[in-house]
Amino acid sequence: GDVGDGVTQAGMGGFYAAAGSYTTAIGGSGVNDGAWHHLVGVHDNGTLTLYVDGAFAGTGSGGASDNGAHLIVGGLFNGSGTPVNAFSGEVDEVAFYDLALTAAEVTAVHQQY
């Protein structure tokens, strides 16, 4: 499936996954304030959860399927081969895990930074 993360046009962090249609988890506060922010998106059993700076920020439900599409960080895949809604800024220390992190694990990872 398609999975991406980035900043929405309103400047809030977002995490997206798709299995035919997009599912979105968007945070409630802006991350476009010139400071570094730690964003974590967790996909677990059809639920997307977004954490910003170690704290829960939003959730959405829906699936993602393995359809051979590319993983995109900082934008959305629209089927044309070119990401859209590209993040304008810097991204550092991207990490992927082969399991869904718990809220406590997200907090622990955030505290390392």
Confidence band, pLDDT 50/70/90 cuts, at residue 103: very high
The β-bridge relationship of strands 76-77 and 83-84 is: antiparallel
* Amino acid identity at 16: Y
C-alpha 83/C-alpha 81 separation (Å) is 7
Position 11 scores a pLDDT of 58
Position 3 scores a pLDDT of 44
C-alpha 34/C-alpha 106 separation (Å) is 22
Query: Domain residues of the chain, as ranges?
Result: 2-111
Place of tokens 């907090």: 107
Dump pLDDT digits (tens) for 45-92. Answer: 888 888 888 988 888 776 666 666 667 777 776 667 677 777 777 888
Handedness of CA 3, 30, 110, 46 (dihedral sign): negative
